[in-house]
Structures are given as C-alpha cells and as structure tokens.
C-alpha cells in the first residue's frame, strides 16, 4: 500500500510538471504556426502575428502573474504548477521568500507581495523580445497603408514594459548588472517612433544600476546617453558620474563633474555631499568647500554630519575655535553622533599642543606663562567632550582612544585634586585592561 501511494505521488508530480510546461509548449506551437505563415506569405499581418508569438514565448513562464501580486493570489493563478522548493533568502539587504518552479523563481517580500521574478527556463533560446521587435520592423515595412500602426505600437509598448518589469525584478533582488541591461533595452524600445514618447527615466535607471554593479565604464557610457537626452535626475546623475570617475582614479574629472552639477543644481544634496567629500579626501581648497557646505546646511538644517564636516574643514585650517563650535553644535543636534564630541575633544587637544609649541619658542617669561595658562585651559576643556564620547560610544576602539586622551589629560591633574587622581586611575586602568 505504501509503495502504491509513493507511486501515485510520483505520477502526480510528473503530471504537475507537465502541466507547468504546457504554457511554454502552447507558446512554441503558436510561434511555429506564425513562422510557417510568414514563410508561406510575406505580409504585414503575418509578421505582426509572429512578433506576438515571440512575446508569448517570452511571457510563457510568467503568464498571468505581475509584480505586486499577493503570494496567495499568484499561487492560485499557478495552481497547476508545483513549487519545487520554498526558502527564505537574503537579497540586496532584504529577506525574501523564494518559490522555485521548473522554469522560474518568484521572490516575495515580507508583506507577501511578488517583488521579483527570474525566468530560469525560457520557452525558447535567445532574446525572444528582441526577435519580436525584428518581426515588428518587418510588419511596419510591409504595412505601407499603416493599417496595423496601432497594433504595432501596442505590441512595441508591451515589449518596452516587459523589459522594464524584468529590469525592476533584477533590481529588487540586487542583480544590478542584469537590471541595467534590461533598463537600457526598455529605453531604446521607447525611442521607436511608434511609441511617441521617449522614456528617458529608463536610461537613467540603466546608468544608476550600472553604477551599483561597479561597472564604471558602462556607467559613463550610459550617462553620456542620458545627458544627450537631457535627463540628469535633477542633478543626481552628476554625482553618479563623478563617483565612477573617482573609482577609475580620475579625481580631477570627478571634481569638474561635481562643479558642473553644483553650478546647475546648487541645492542638490547628492552633488553637495559628494563635492564636500572629494575636497576633504583630497585635502584641496578647504576654504572653497566651506561655502558649499553652507549651502548644504541650508538644504538640510538638521543634518549633524554637515556641521561636523564644516568643523573638520576649520580644523584643517587650524581655526580651532571655529571647529570646536561646529563640533559642539553637531553634538547638540544629534546627541548620538559619537564623532562630534570625539572631534571636539581632539580639536581642544590639538589646540593645546599647538599652544605648547608656541610657548617653547617664547623668550618673554610673562608671555610664556600666559601661553601655559592658555594651554592648560584648552587641555582641561578637552576632557568633557572626550568623557561624553567615552560614555555614549559602543565601539571599543573609540572608547580606548578616548581613554588614552583622558589618561594624559588627568595625569597632569592627579596631584592637584582627588577627582583628578580618581579619573586618571579610571582611564589608565581602562587602557591597560583593554589590551587583555
């Protein structure tokens, strides 16, 4: 009995698999008939039917489903097709439920919506959608009276949308290189006269996804096309182009690109932040970038990191008080922003070291003593932000760095007060134990 049940289960699975491939079989049969019709009679209607048959072959594995469909709805529509496996997978930083079929993989988001499909076994080899376009070209050439113009346009639009859906599917699961290819194809289909409207967003998406895939040569090539069609994502494209130039080692070209983007879109935050970062990383023209940071701060008045960036620039210019003011303000804006109090402490500490260096060169006793007092004041002022950073940081490396500074600061105070002694012992002990 058990053996019989196993045999029946096997028969059921085989029949289900056969049912699943019926859509592909039907699509191929339709294509063969359309192909035969074209070979028999070379006329526009037959070429249009052949084009439709190619589209049918492409759509066969995913026929009846769409992005955004609920998982239960999709399963109901695919009730005759067995799910070979179902598992939780992580893609592009998200968790999906992946249902694998004999000819496709369907990815559902955590809220149960179909987010992506990947055709693993197409009904026919080759790019069926491209072959559909070639057949449409034949139909259009033979349709001298434009009797089929609307049908040709509708089929072309369907192909454009199919490439877009495929691109979105690949994008949603982090397959950026493949997404870029399909977005580009969708764009070029949209440039066909019968569509009537060029979808420039598609060439932009193709560029961005090529950038995500770290294909910087392709990014720059696609970006040029996007700019030729006057689509720049309201400035975002310049940040993408600059990033590719930078990755290719051409910092000068990256700066020029960002400068142009800033000139055209002075309030674009992607351009501003990239411009700030590249100037800071190259240690070049810190005075120039301060004006840019000011614009960025106007756009994002609650962004603590932009105030912190301004403080960093003042620090590079040895404008300690200005840098300290910025770091302190940054920490007030975001009390969890650990880098702000740490940088404030470092600025005070560096200031104290500079004053000490000045004192060593001073020959006048009165001026020398005044400098020493100023140095002590700067050093003492460094303690509070370092202690704040030490307390709020969860990063052991940062805590050790804070403790090192604090140990040195309170070393000078250990004989002046019990508080100074206690704090020196606290931070000295932390540093010593951190190495164990």
* Residue 25 in domain: no
At 388 the pLDDT is 96
Give pLDDT, residue 156.
Answer: 98
- 215-246 pLDDT, tens digit each: 999 999 999 999 999 999 999 999 999 999 99
- 241 occurs within a structural domain: no
**For 242-283, how does the pLDDT look when each residue is reduced to its tens digit (9 = 90+)?**
999 999 999 999 999 998 998 888 778 888 888 888 887 887
Burial class (CB in 10 A: 0-12, 13-18, 19+), 73: middle
Residue 1 forms part of a structural domain: no
Q: Is residue 325 part of a domain?
A: yes
- Domain assignment present for 322: yes
Q: Poorest-confidence range of 263-272, 296-305, 315-324, 387-396?
A: 263-272
Helical spans, DSSP H, in 213-319? 216-228, 236-247, 251-264, 269-281, 286-299, 304-316
CA distance 166 to 157: 14
Q: Is residue 137 part of a domain?
A: no
How many CB atoms neighbour CB 113 within 10 A? 15
- Find tokens 């009904």 and name the residue: 123
Q: Give the pLDDT confidence score for residue 262 in this predicted structure.
A: 86
Q: What is the pTM of this model?
A: 0.74
Is residue 161 scored above 60 in pLDDT? yes
User: How many domains does the chain fold into?
Assistant: 1
The span from the CA of 338 to the CA of 334, in Å, is: 9
CA distance 106 to 83: 10
Domain that includes residue 430, residue range: 316-436
The pLDDT, as a whole number, for residue 2 is 39
| Residue found by looking up tokens 């454009």 in the block | 160
pLDDT given for residue 36 in this prediction: 97
Assigned domain for 379 exists: yes
Give the confidence band of 15 by pLDDT, cuts at 50, 70, 90. Answer: very low
Element spanning 403, H or E: helix 396-411
Residues 6+ apart with CB under 8 A from 256: none
Residue 399 lies in a domain: yes
Burial class (CB in 10 A: 0-12, 13-18, 19+), 355: buried
| Cα 300 to Cα 280: distance, rounded to the nearest angstrom | 19
pLDDT for 432 beyond 60: yes
Answer for the pair 399, 342: CB distance below 8 angstroms, yes or no. Answer: no
Q: Say if residue 435's pLDDT is above 70.
A: no
**pLDDT for res 21:** 65
How many Å apart are CA 2 and CA 9, to the nearest integer?
11
Element (H, E) at 100: strand 94-100
């Amino acid at each position: 009995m058990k053996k019989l049940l196993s045999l029946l289960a096997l028969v059921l699975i085989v029949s289900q698999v056969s049912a699943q491939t019926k859509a592909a079989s039907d699509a191929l049969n339709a294509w063969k008939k359309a192909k035969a019709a074209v070979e028999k009679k070379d006329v526009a209607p037959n070429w249009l039917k052949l084009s439709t048959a190619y589209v049918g072959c492409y759509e066969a594995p995913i026929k009846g489903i769409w992005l955004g469909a609920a998982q239960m709805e999709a399963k109901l529509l695919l009730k005759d097709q067995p799910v070979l496996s179902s598992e939780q997978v992580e893609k592009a930083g998200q968790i999906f439920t992946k249902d694998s079929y004999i000819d496709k993989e369907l990815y559902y988001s955590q809220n149960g919506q179909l987010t992506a499909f990947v055709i693993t076994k197409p009904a026919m080899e080759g790019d069926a959608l491209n072959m559909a376009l070639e057949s449409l070209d034949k139909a259009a050439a033979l349709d001298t009276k434009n009797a089929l113009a609307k049908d040709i346009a509708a089929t072309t639009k369907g192909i454009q949308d199919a490439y877009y859906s495929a691109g979105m599917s690949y994008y949603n699961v982090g397959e950026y290189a493949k997404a870029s290819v399909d977005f580009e194809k969708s764009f070029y289909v949209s440039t066909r006269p019968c569509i009537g409207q060029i979808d420039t967003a598609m060439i932009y998406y193709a560029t961005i996804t090529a950038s995500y895939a770290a294909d910087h040569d392709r990014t720059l090539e696609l970006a040029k096309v996007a700019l030729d069609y006057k689509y720049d994502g309201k400035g975002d494209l310049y940040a993408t182009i600059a990033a590719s130039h930078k990755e290719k080692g051409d910092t000068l070209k990256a700066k020029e690109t960002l400068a142009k983007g800033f000139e055209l879109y002075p309030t674009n935050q992607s351009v501003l932040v990239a411009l700030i970062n590249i100037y800071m990383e190259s240690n070049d023209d810190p005075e120039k970038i301060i004006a840019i940071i000011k614009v960025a701060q106007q756009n994002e008045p609650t962004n603590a990191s932009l105030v912190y960036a301004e403080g960093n620039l003042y620090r590079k210019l040895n404008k300690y008080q200005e840098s300290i003011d910025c770091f302190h303000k940054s920490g007030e804006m975001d009390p969890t922003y650990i880098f702000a109090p740490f940088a404030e402490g470092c600025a005070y500490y560096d200031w104290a070291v500079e004053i000490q260096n000045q004192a060593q060169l001073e020959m006048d006793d009165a001026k020398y003593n005044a400098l020493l007092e100023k140095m002590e004041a700067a050093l003492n002022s460094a303690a509070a932000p370092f202690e704040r950073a030490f307390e709020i940081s969860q990063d052991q490396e940062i805590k050790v760095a804070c403790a090192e500074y604090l140990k040195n600061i309170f070393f000078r105070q250990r004989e002046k007060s019990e508080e100074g002694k206690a704090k020196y012992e606290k931070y000295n002990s932390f540093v010593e134990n951190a190495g164990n």
